[in-house]
Chain A
Amino acid sequence: DAGITQSPRHKVTETGTPVTLRCHQTENHRYMYWYRQDPGHGLRLIHYSYGVKDTDKGEVSDGYSVSRSKTEDFLLTLESATSSQTSVYFCAISEDRGQLDTQYFGPGTRLTVL
C-alpha cells in the first residue's frame, strides 16, 4: 500500500467519546487526504492537507478535525463520535493534488461507533 500505514486498523467506541485516527507515510508526499467509505456513497473527502500545518475542508468535514505537524503524519479527530460516523476511513497521499498525480491509498481503518 505505497508506504502508507493507518492506525488503528479497527476500533469500536461509544457515542460521545473522542477518537483519533493516524495516517503515516514514508513517501515524503506533500498532499495527504482523509476519506470515508460508505455503502451507496463511494468515497467522500473529509479533509486534506497540502503541507505541514496547511489543511482544508472536503465534502463531508462536519464533526471532523485534522492536524499535520509533520510531513509524514496526518491525524483525523472525531471530537465527539456519533453513530453516523461509523464507516471505513481511508488515508491517501499524492505528490500533487488530484488531477495531476495519482492518489495512493492506505489499508483503511474500520470504525464502529455504538
Chain B
Amino acid sequence: GAGVSQSPSNKVTEKGKDVELRCDPISGHTALYWYRQRLGQGLEFLIYFQGNSAPDKSGLPSDRFSAERTGESVSTLTIQRTQQEDSAVYLCASSLVAGVYGYTFGSGTRLTVV
C-alpha cells in the first residue's frame, strides 16, 4: 500500500481482556517497528522485526505483550490480560532497510482499557 496501515484505529476493551492490534507495512519494507505513545509523552520502543531474523523484543514491558510478523508483511501486537496502564496509542512503523531512510509511521491504534 501507499502507507503504513493500522487497525483498528480505536479500541476500547475491558480490563483483563486480550487485544490484537494489526499493522500492514509499506510493501517491500523489510524492517517493522512497534512503539507505544502514552498521552502527552514520547514514543517508547517495543519490538523490531528485520526480515526473517529473530525479532528484537527488548522493549516489551512485560510477558503480557507479544508480537508476530509473517515474512515481510503483516504484523500483529497482542496484549493479554489488559491493564489500565496499557492505555496508549500503539504506533507501527516500517522502513525499506533498517532505518537507513527513516521510518514511516502509521496513524496508530488508540487503546483504552476500562
Q: Do A and B bind each other?
A: no
Query: Residues of B at under 8 Å CB distance from A?
Result: none
